[in-house]
Structure 1
Amino acid sequence: MASCDKICKVLDIYEERLSKNKYLAGDFFSLVDLSHLPFTQYLVGQMGKEYMTTSRKHVSAWWDDISSRPS
């Protein structure tokens, strides 16, 4: 199975989870979300795979939220 397929499966699980909560661990920003910032930034930035997040409504909203938080 290709790496992109594996990432898509994970993002599909996140999409389901985020359809019920604003963040991965519930309705509060936590280390769970924070730990995803570096890899997701790499995925949408250097890898140019932004479509993997934007094609999922809840993942896209979650990413927009966590990636625009002040440092």
Structure 2
Amino acid sequence: MNQVTVYSTNTCPYCTMMKNFLKEQGVPFTEVNVQQDRQAAQRLVETTGQMGVPQTEINGQWILGYDPDAVMELLK
């Protein structure tokens, strides 16, 4: 079973695209809204060094931005 977490904000169109893509692929995921959860936002920056969203963690590997090809590669 893949562990997939999408870090997003309310206003990010690429976050919506990433979540829709995962839904279309039938991939269950957890969403963490870093706009509402400041501690999660801080942890994200500490972990990846990146402020931008979406950031998607798949089995411990990180994808920055909307990159469906990278997602499919990590889900294999």
RCO comparison, higher one (Cα < 8 Å, 6+): 2
TM range, smaller chain = under 0.3
TM-score by length of 2: 0.27
TM-score by length of 1: 0.28
